[in-house]
Structure formats: C-alpha cells, structure tokens
Structure 1
C-alpha cells in the first residue's frame, strides 16, 4: 500500500540521542566511544570484530556490582561528529579523509581494519586528533 494523501508520521526522538541498555559488569565513562556488542548491550569501544558503533557517551554509568545484570542500567549516547585520539601505530592521515576509521579503544581510532570494527568516517584531523562522524 502506498500513500494517497499526506500522513502525520510522528517523530519519537531526534535520532541523535539514544538510551541504550548496558551489559552487566560494565562501566561507561562520559565522552567515551560506545558500541553495541553481539548480545545487543552497550559496552565501551574496544578492538574487536562485529561491534556496532553507537556514538559518544553523554554520561558516566556504572553497571557493576551485585544485581546489576544485562540491561539493568542504561546509558545516554549521542550520535554526531566528535574528536577522538589518533592511533600512534596505525595513524589516520590527511589521505584518509572521508574513509572509514576503526575502533582501537573507547577513546582512540585507527586505520587498522583487521580485528576491529568501524568507528565512522574521518572528516578531518585537528591538532593530532581525528574528527569522526558517527551516524
């Protein structure tokens, strides 16, 4: 079926801020790169395959301790354009503009694609840091 007249498609949220359930025994610090693991829970960014980049944490959330299982706590994550540290071993350079970059840890991106997951697109370098678009 296709529309034959206008439709009020309701916006639920702005699409840039997500509230994601966290994995058990996890701490996510504000400003860190956040990913979704294979179980569907938010964890800090790390070097691993199969992770889905979610965005930058807007807050510190500690989901460790007794009774804090998967999904007990949630973290607010923002999608957009952010600056992260550049990997010293496999650095992003000016020739990498608009290419995918990859997650090294929760504050660092790299050009090393092996054994890693995509962080986002390189928009520019800024005083040695990398400006990354996370959609």
Structure 2
C-alpha cells in the first residue's frame, strides 16, 4: 500500500472491550482470566506462550475455531492467590505474576511453565490478588 496523498478516515477501536474468536472445542466462563492462545481466546491455564487479555465479560463455547467470539475487557481484576511457596504477598505489588488457571495467579513462573498474567497491584486481607491485565503491559 502506498503512502497517503490526502486525508484518511482511519477506523478506530476504543479498546475498552474487544471481541476475540474462541479456540476450537473451548468453553470460557464469564469472569475468567482469558488468554490469547495462537490467536484465539482461551481460558487461562498453566502453559507458556500465552498472552493475558483480560476478563471474560460473558460465557462462550466454540465448537470450531472462531465459530463464536467472546467479549474480553482488559483492566484490574481480583483473582485467587496460589498456594505455599508461590503465594503472592503485598510486598510483591508492582511485580509480575503468572497464570495458574482461569481464576488463579502465582508469584513465580513455575520454573518457566507459566505465562505472565500481569502486574500485581495489591493483595487483600482474604488473599485475593488485584492484577492489572491486558495485552501490551
């Protein structure tokens, strides 16, 4: 494509809530941590190479890859805390945390077996972890 020679009305997406095609044979539950897995939305899980996208705004089930889309919103969300040696503490605020499953995060990458979830912002008295999640963080 050649460079512009006149004004152009460039389409815009505000990026507050994005629709992602869902991975084949996959169910995503509303409120879960959603990741990009080879370009498709999937629930968070222990695996490498995933990109944390945000929270599912609805539930969705796909039979074939991309047969449905799920609305996902980046932001700051409270997820469950991992256990024992991977427990996140308030002292970890400002640090990266890692995906255990679609509702749980951990302090470490589990010896490079987990993908990054986002940035720890706070830990509540009940142990819940507030995480800033979204692509490009």
Q: Same fold (TM over 0.5)?
A: yes
Mapped partners of 1:98, 1:9: distance in 2: 39
TM-score calculated relative to the size of structure 1: 0.86
Mapping of residues 1-135 of structure 1, within 5 Å:
12-37=12-37, 39-63=38-62, 68-89=63-84, 90-113=86-109, 114-126=112-124, 127-135=126-134
Following superposition, the deviation at residue 44 of structure 1 comes to 0.3
CA offset digits 1:97-128 (Å, max 9, x no partner)? 10000000000000121210010000001121
TM-score calculated relative to the size of structure 2: 0.85
Corresponding residue number in structure 2 for 1:4: none
Query: Gaps spanning 5+ residues in structure 1: where?
Result: 1-6
Query: Gaps spanning 5+ residues in structure 2: where?
Result: 1-6
**CA RMSD between the two structures:** 1.6
Mapped partners of 2:8, 2:128: distance in 1: 42
